[in-house]
């Protein structure tokens, strides 16, 4: 049993040597115990900090006033700074570049409900999206402040994939509907065109008014047939053929004669930059020609007063794909339209000048070749369509 000593320093002089030894021994034991406790606490602190920093997700401890008390290494990497410099700053300043708390931040709701709350927040600096989870932490009796643990999971790619799945499902559904409609009106249209042309051949030469009216009917019917052809292509009614080895530069060069005259008339300067020794791809070359022709035609329409049109072909950084960029200096596309640009029947052209199916068909063809297509644009500066197609697998 440990002996408890209560010693008045002024009375130490009255103690004999045995009593002094007991006091010294007791003090030594207490010092040793304190040293062991300090070691345990230090080791625990080290283990906690090591564990905290080893978490791959960005994690930080924040007060109810959004002040950062501690951030782990992953959090510092996202914020682009040193952990030490984060302490004492507001989380919304460091990570979102804001002067006020982020809209939808789960911190206050978590404290109010005393439970875990999740929310999706956007990083306005880096253009990323995070699922933020707020966990009520502790109440600091010294300061009277409550704290919350905030963890961040990057869901940018996850959201992109979800949007892509929704887009594909939407296009598949519209494709089925479009195919059905196209078949229903294709035969009657063929009859209208055939009978109109038959009547035209039998109209007397002097009957100019009737001939003019019949020509109008024929032209309108032919426009409808082109729309039907687009609908059928969009719905993929035609049987898919075997993909053959081909080189994109060769495929593309077969399209240029179809737009050469239009580019010349519009005073459009055209350049083709193709990296040497581009890998071959497996493709239905005529369907890729359809994609290229559509993109080049759209680019020409975007530059009615002339401009520059550049096509760039190169191997991707991973060496697994061929990347084709179609770049124009035309009117550009408004930001609010970019997310809908590949939607069926969406068009920014004037009524009667487009079906809104061209880019949807391009999107589907590229996807069916195992690739991807995206767009970047700025009003008044131009547009870039970028296609990525996998190189052919060597057998």
Bridge partners for 373 per DSSP: 387
What architecture is the 59-154 domain classified under in CATH?
Answer: 2-Layer Sandwich (3.30)
**CA distances, 324 to each of 181, 282, 297, 314, 391 (Å):** 34, 15, 16, 7, 12
User: Which strand (E) or helix (H) includes residue 264?
Assistant: helix 256-265
pLDDT at position 330 is: 92
> Is 322 in contact with 316 (CB distance < 8 Å)?
yes
pLDDT at position 1 is: 44
Name the DSSP letter for residue 10: G
Long-range Cβ pairs for the range 357-363 (8 Å, 24+)? 357/227, 357/230, 357/231, 357/233, 357/234, 358/230, 358/294, 358/297, 358/298, 359/294, 359/298, 360/171, 360/234, 361/230, 361/233, 361/234, 361/290, 361/291, 361/294, 362/290, 362/291, 362/294, 362/295, 363/171
CATH 3.40.50.1820 fits 244-390, yes or no: no
**Domains 160-234 and 244-390 agree in fold:** no
> Is 359 in contact with 342 (CB distance < 8 Å)?
yes
Burial of 178 (0-12, 13-18, 19+ CB in 10 A): buried
Bridge partners for 309 per DSSP: 270, 328
Which distant-in-sequence residues (6+ apart) come within 8 Å of 337 by Cβ?
346, 348
Q: For the chain, how are helix, strand and coil distributed in percent, rounded to 5?
A: 50, 20, 30
Bridge partners for 154 per DSSP: 130
Name the DSSP letter for residue 140: -
Which distant-in-sequence residues (6+ apart) come within 8 Å of 94 by Cβ?
68, 79, 81, 86
Chain centroid, CA 60 distance in Å: 26
Sheet containing strand 68-71, strands side by side: 68-71, 59-63, 146-154, 128-139, 117-123
pLDDT at position 197 is: 86
pLDDT at position 10 is: 54
Name the DSSP letter for residue 67: B
Angle separating helix axes 358-368 and 208-234, nearest 10 degrees: 30
| Furthest C-alpha separation in the chain | 145
> Is 61 in contact with 156 (CB distance < 8 Å)?
no
pLDDT one digit per residue (tens) for the chain, 395 residues: 444 545 555 555 566 677 777 877 888 888 888 888 888 888 887 787 777 777 888 888 889 889 988 888 888 777 776 667 778 888 888 877 788 888 888 999 998 888 999 988 877 666 778 889 999 877 666 666 788 999 888 888 888 777 777 766 766 666 667 667 776 777 788 888 888 888 888 887 777 888 888 888 888 888 777 777 766 665 554 455 677 888 999 999 988 888 888 899 999 999 999 998 899 998 888 889 889 988 999 999 999 999 999 999 999 988 889 999 999 999 998 888 888 888 877 777 665 556 667 888 888 889 888 899 999 999 989 999 999 999 887 64
CATH number for the segment(s) 160-234 = 1.10.287
Spell out the domain ranges in the chain.
9-52, 59-154, 160-234, 244-390
Q: Which is it for the CA torsion 350, 352, 354, 356, positive or negative?
A: positive
pLDDT at position 11 is: 55
Residue 79 to residue 97: CA distance in whole angstroms: 10
pLDDT at position 268 is: 93
């Amino acid at each position: 049993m440990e002996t408890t000593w209560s010693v008045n320093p002024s009375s130490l002089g009255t103690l004999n040597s045995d009593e002094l030894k007991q006091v010294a021994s007791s003090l030594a034991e207490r010092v040793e115990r304190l040293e062991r406790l300090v070691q345990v606490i230090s080791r625990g602190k080290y283990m906690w900090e090591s564990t905290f920093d080893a978490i791959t997700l960005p994690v930080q401890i924040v007060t109810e006033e959004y002040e950062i008390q501690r951030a782990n290494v992953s959090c510092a990497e996202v914020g682009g700074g040193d952990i030490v410099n984060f302490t004492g700053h507001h989380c919304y300043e460091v990570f979102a570049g804001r002067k006020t708390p982020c809209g939808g931040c789960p911190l206050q709701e978590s404290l109010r409900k005393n439970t875990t709350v999740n929310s999706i927040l956007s990083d306005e600096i880096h253009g990323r999206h995070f699922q933020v989870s707020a966990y009520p932490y502790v109440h600091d009796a010294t300061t009277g402040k409550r704290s919350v643990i905030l963890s961040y999971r990057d869901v940018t790619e996850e959201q992109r994939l979800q949007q892509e799945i929704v887009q594909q499902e939407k296009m598949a559904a519209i494709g089925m509907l479009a195919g059905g409609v196209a078949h229903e009106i294709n035969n009657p249209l063929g009859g209208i065109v055939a009978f109109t042309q038959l009547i035209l051949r039998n109209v007397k030469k002097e009957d100019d008014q009737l001939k003019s009216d019949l020509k109008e009917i024929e032209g309108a019917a032919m426009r409808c047939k082109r729309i039907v052809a687009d609908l059928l292509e969009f719905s993929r009614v035609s049987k898919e053929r075997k993909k053959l080895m081909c080189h994109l530069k060769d495929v593309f060069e077969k399209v240029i004669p179809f737009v050469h005259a239009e580019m010349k008339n519009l005073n459009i300067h055209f350049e083709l930059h193709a990296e040497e020794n581009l890998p071959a791809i497996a493709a239905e070359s005529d369907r890729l020609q359809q994609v290229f022709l559509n993109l080049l035609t759209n680019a020409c329409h975007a530059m009615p007063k002339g401009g520059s049109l550049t096509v760039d072909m190169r191997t991707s950084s991973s060496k697994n794909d061929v990347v084709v960029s179609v770049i124009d200096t035309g009117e550009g596309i408004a930001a609010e339209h970019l997310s809908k640009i590949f939607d069926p029947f969406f068009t920014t052209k004037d009524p009667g000048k487009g079906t809104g199916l061209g880019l949807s068909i391009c999107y589907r063809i590229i996807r069916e070749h195992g690739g991807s297509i995206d767009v970047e644009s700025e009003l008044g500066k131009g547009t870039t369509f970028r296609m990525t197609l996998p190189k052919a697998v060597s057998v």
